[in-house]
Homo-oligomer: A and B are copies of this chain.
C-alpha cells in the first residue's frame, strides 16, 4: 500500500514535489490551474501532511506544551478548555502533561520539552516545587513560557494571575464581618508566589481587624485528600475555638466539609467556610459554599514581561441556609 505523501501526489500528477508543496501551502507563484489539480488530487487521496517532517524543516511545531498539576479540578479543567479552544482556532496542537504536584515529574517534563517538541509552554507550577532552576532551561533555549495561576516570578515572562492578595483579604474580611474571630487558613505551599500572596491577604485582614495572627491556625495542604481531612480534623479538635475557615483552594474546602461532617460540627452555625473555587455546583452544596470565583478565564497575548491580572469576586449565594 503506497503511502500518501508529497512524492506520491507528485507522481500521480506528473509534477515535482516542490510544486505540489507550494500549491498546497498556497504560496506565491503557482498557477491557479495546477493548484486546483493538486488540491483535487490531495483530497481525493485524503492526503495529510506529515507534521514531523514539516516541523523538522521549519523549526516550529505548531504545538504548545501545557503543564499543570492536575486536571480533576474545576479551575484547571476550565483552563484546559480555554487553552485547547484557542489553540485549535489557531491551528495549534496541545500536548498535555500533569505533574500531580510532584517536583521530579515537573523537572522531567520540562526537560522533555526543550528538544524542539513544542513552540511554547503554558505552565502552572507544582506546589511542591522549591527549586526552579529547571525552568531556566526554558529561557536558555528561548522557549516562550507563560505562567498562570501558580506563578514563578523568578523567570521574567508573561504571567496570567489573579489578585490573590486582595481577594484573600476580602474573603477573610468577609468571615470577620460575619462574626468569626478564630479563623484557620488552609494554604497551599508557601514557596509559591500564589500561596504567599493568599496568606499575605489573610494576615493583612486579621491585622486590620486587630485579630492576632496565630501560626497554629495556618496549615498547609497534604499530599493526599485523605491526609488533608485528617489534618483538618486534628486542627479542629486541638482548637475548638475555630469558628471560620478560609480555604485557599477548593479541594481544601471539600476536605473541610468532610472533616466537619466526621466531627459532627455544623457548618454555618459552628464554623463558616469560604474558599477560592470555580465549582459550578457550589450553590447546591449543603450548606452552600461561599466562594471567591474568578469571573472568566482570559487568554490574551500579553507582551513579554506583562502581567495579566484576573479579577475575582466573592459570589454570595442566596439559598435559605446560606449565612451571608
Task: Give me the interface of A with B, judged by CB distance under 8 Å.
Answer: 46, 48-53, 55-56, 61, 63, 70-74, 77-78, 80-81, 84-85, 88, 93-98, 105, 109, 111-112, 114-117, 137, 140, 254, 257, 279-281, 284-288, 319, 321
Q: Which of B78, B98, B140 contacts A84 (CB 8 A)?
A: B98
Pair B56/A50 contact, Cβ less than 8 Å: yes
For residue A67, give the distance in angstroms from its CB to the closest CB of chain B: 11
Highest count of chain B CB atoms <10 Å: which of A53, A70, A96, A257: A96
CB contacts (< 8 Å) of A56 on chain B: these are 50, 52-53, 56
CB contacts (< 8 Å) of A77 on chain B: these are 71-73, 77
CB contacts (< 8 Å) of A88 on chain B: these are 97-98, 105, 109
Q: Which of B61, B80, B257 contacts A284 (CB 8 A)?
A: B257
Give the complex CA separation of A53 and B52 in angstroms.
7
CB contacts (< 8 Å) of A288 on chain B: these are 286
Select from chain B the residue with minimum beta-carbon distance to A1: B142
Highest count of chain B CB atoms <10 Å: which of A55, A71, A85, A288: A71
Highest count of chain B CB atoms <10 Å: which of A72, A84, A280: A72
For residue A256, give the distance in angstroms from its CB to the closest CB of chain B: 11
Give the complex CA separation of A32 and B276 in angstroms.
55
CB contacts (< 8 Å) of A287 on chain B: these are 286
Given contacts A254-B281, A285-B286, contact A51 B115 (CB under 8 A): yes
Select from chain B the residue with minimum beta-carbon distance to A49: B115
Pair B96/A96 contact, Cβ less than 8 Å: yes
Select from chain B the residue with minimum beta-carbon distance to A250: B281
Highest count of chain B CB atoms <10 Å: which of A49, A84, A279, A321: A84
CB contacts (< 8 Å) of A285 on chain B: these are 281, 284-286
Give the complex CA separation of A152 and B199 in angstroms.
49
10 tightest Cβ-Cβ pairs between the two chains A and B: A286-B286, A48-B115, A52-B55, A72-B77, A52-B56, A52-B52, A96-B96, A50-B116, A84-B98, A71-B77
